[in-house]
């Protein structure tokens, strides 16, 4: 079955960096796009970034553009989110999510359990 | 950006009774394929979201047939025919048509 396991969260000071990882299994990693979605404490869901199945196209929310970088390692079936110049408003649970398929746009069919990022001095 | 607007934001329901959530988008979600790129997710307390409905009206695998999605273009509805205690949580609609992907504010369903 599909499994998405995030790691790398923690407490970081404003202006700092953090790299999140999402280990995947149970599907052909190179055949599906992947997302990062976040949720600030007590708030709703906010999409962060998407990478196409082949890694050639990447899309970002305006709130993170230029600071976050999504990437994938096909040798280890792992998704990454490099987060630089972190701000207090980046504090959130970060979810890794699998795109359903090419034919349903950016629809998500599986979510990980999330990793918590706290940006605070 | 496509703005997604849900109503109501809070929905107290008696077990066994029906429930309905509305989701409106600021732009049409009807794709040239003929499908509406609108999903519904449920986030149960303390859990990550789970998909209920995709392409506007397709139930995801394992989702009870008490849940149904309808609508087209800019107006969509999620219906629960008979609410059960396990349905408690926050329901989100999401447009999957274009980036930035956007979610509704969420509708919190709880049991009366």
- SS3 label, residue A90: helix
Mean pLDDT for all residues in chain B: 97
- Among B5, B36, B37, B48, the strongest candidate for a mutation testing the A interface, having the largest count of A CBs within 10 A, is B48
Given strand A68-73, what is the order of strands in its sheet?
A3-7, A18-25, A78-83, A68-73
The pLDDT score that the predictor gives to residue A104 is 81
Chain B residues contacting A, CB < 8 Å?
Answer: 31, 33, 35, 37, 39, 41, 43, 48-51, 54-55, 60, 90, 92, 94, 96-106
Look up residue B105 and give its two tokens. Answer: 């504010």
Inter-chain CB proximity B48 and A105 less than 8 Å: no
Look up residue A58 and give its two tokens. Answer: 């990447």
Chain segment A20-61, per-residue pLDDT in tens: 999 999 999 999 999 999 999 999 999 999 999 999 999 999
Chain segment B22-48, per-residue pLDDT in tens: 999 999 999 999 999 999 999 999 999
The span from the CA of A17 to the CA of B93, in Å, is: 31
In 10 A of CB A25, how many CB atoms? Answer: 11
**Pairing, β A68-73 against β A78-83:** antiparallel
Inter-chain CB proximity A111 and B102 less than 8 Å: no
Phi, psi (deg, nearest 5) at residue B91: -100, 130
């Amino acid at each position: 079955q599909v499994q998405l396991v995030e790691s790398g969260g923690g407490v970081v000071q404003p202006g700092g960096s953090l790299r999140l990882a999402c280990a995947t299994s149970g599907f052909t990693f190179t055949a599906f796009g992947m997302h990062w979605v976040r949720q600030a404490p007590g708030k709703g869901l906010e999409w962060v970034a998407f990478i196409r199945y082949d890694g050639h196209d990447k899309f970002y929310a305006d709130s993170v553009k230029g600071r976050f970088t999504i990437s994938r390692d096909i040798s280890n079936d792992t998704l990454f989110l490099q987060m630089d110049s972190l701000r207090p408003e980046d504090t959130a649970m970060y979810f890794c999510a699998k795109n359903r398929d090419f034919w349903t746009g950016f629809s998500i069919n599986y979510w990980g359990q999330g990793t918590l990022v706290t940006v605070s001095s | 950006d496509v703005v997604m607007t849900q109503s109501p934001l809070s929905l107290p329901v008696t077990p066994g009774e029906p429930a309905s959530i509305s989701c409106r988008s600021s732009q049409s979600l009807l794709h040239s394929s003929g499908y509406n790129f609108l999903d519904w997710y449920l986030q149960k307390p303390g859990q990550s979201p789970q998909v209920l409905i995709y392409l506007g009206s397709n139930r995801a695998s394992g989702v009870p047939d008490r849940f149904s999605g309808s609508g087209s273009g800019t107006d969509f509805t999620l219906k629960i025919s008979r609410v059960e205690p396990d349905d408690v949580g926050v329901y989100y609609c999401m447009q999957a048509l274009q980036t930035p992907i956007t979610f509704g504010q969420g509708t919190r369903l709880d049991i009366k």
